[in-house]
Homo-oligomer: A and B are copies of this chain.
């Protein structure tokens, strides 16, 4: 045990997780939270509901690290196994914890259950003697931290994410931080960009990567968007903010356009916030995205103040009947063309009755390609109620899901650029 430092390994318990029938997202969450709290994570593991293997694994972990943190294996049918394995690994016995028993009784009463507790529920209150109990306001099984004679510990939490996450943040992390006297945690600020490639972004900020020590910066690309993460090591949030602020200002200066939000903000929520502030309404006309652009916007709570509706015109006849796209234009240019994308956007503005409308048309594959129009060719367009319009041609890699997802992002990006940059050149209404 080094003062001011703690090292842990994370163990996910459950045969369904071990054999890949359930994807374990708990371990990634626990690792992120611990690392951000200044605790070293050495390794992650998964074992089945097998007491002997779990006990051996916990003993091995405590050879290497200060503590083992488990999730899962506390359900009523298997919890004996897990807790007995933990008790054996640290040389403790299981005892009835009266406060946990009363908490379980109260919880069941609050659901209208009366009568004596079942054996299963009683067993959930059996915990290693002398352990620190981690209360579980969101479920019956309590968590706990059991400390071995040499100061090494095993902490066990339930596997249900909505029970585990608050227990980790509110009880377990503070316990580790206090017990090991950890002063500095990692505080982050994430800057979200869209429409800038990872390599371009890298070239703009790479000298910062090389020179900065605290805060550090990292880039993370996902789904066509790139985040810049600023990570400061500090004693508290205020101290971290003082370190982060000048670096954030420098990064914003270097990147310029393309930053749409920070931290929890999504591109969709940033768009809706901007449109609401400008009192503009929005609709969509979608072909290959099939409603995915509308769905992404409606996912944001409160979307109804801005988003009015969508016309999904998957069939060409529907492009004409519901969006008013000229049949001759469809014949001459084809459904996948800049002209049709713009006509769809203008049609949506007019028919749905919005200030702005986005449109998508393209070839998602695997079939549908024609000479000169390969799978992945997509046009996205934006039109205003006055008939001004802008279109962008995209050639997208990947399979059907990839092309459709990137088309959705491409449409949202066109709208973002329009709102973010007053100099975007639009085609005048006359041309349409």
Contacts and interface: CB of A to CB of B under 8 A. Distances in A.
A367 interface: yes
A95 B290 CA distance: 53
Looking at A56, A220, A352, which has the most chain B CB atoms within 10 Å of its CB?
A: A352
Contacts of A21: 28, 32, 220
Interface string A31-58: 1100100000111111100000100110
B301 A311 contact: no
Interface stretch (A124-132, A235-243, A316-324): A316-324
B45 A44 contact: yes
B20 A366 contact: no
B314 A311 contact: no
Contact of A291 (B29, B295, B318, B404): B295
A75 interface: no
Nearest to A57: B43
Contacts of A46: 27, 43-45
Looking at A294, A297, A309, which has the most chain B CB atoms within 10 Å of its CB?
A: A309
Number of contact residues on A: which range applies?
35 or more
Interface string A276-305: 000000001010111111110111011110
Contacts of A400: 299, 301
A110 B333 CA distance: 35
Contacts of A30: 20
Contacts of A298: 288-292, 312, 314, 404
Contacts of A25: 23
A315 interface: yes
Contact of A318 (B35, B297, B308, B317): B308
A407 B309 CA distance: 18
16 contacts: A19-B32, A19-B41, A42-B53, A43-B46, A284-B291, A288-B298, A289-B298, A290-B299, A291-B293, A291-B295, A292-B295, A298-B312, A307-B315, A309-B315, A310-B310, A310-B314
Interface of A: 18-25, 27-32, 35, 41-47, 53, 56-57, 60, 64, 220, 284, 286, 288-295, 297-299, 301-304, 307-315, 317-318, 321-322, 351-353, 365-367, 400-401, 404
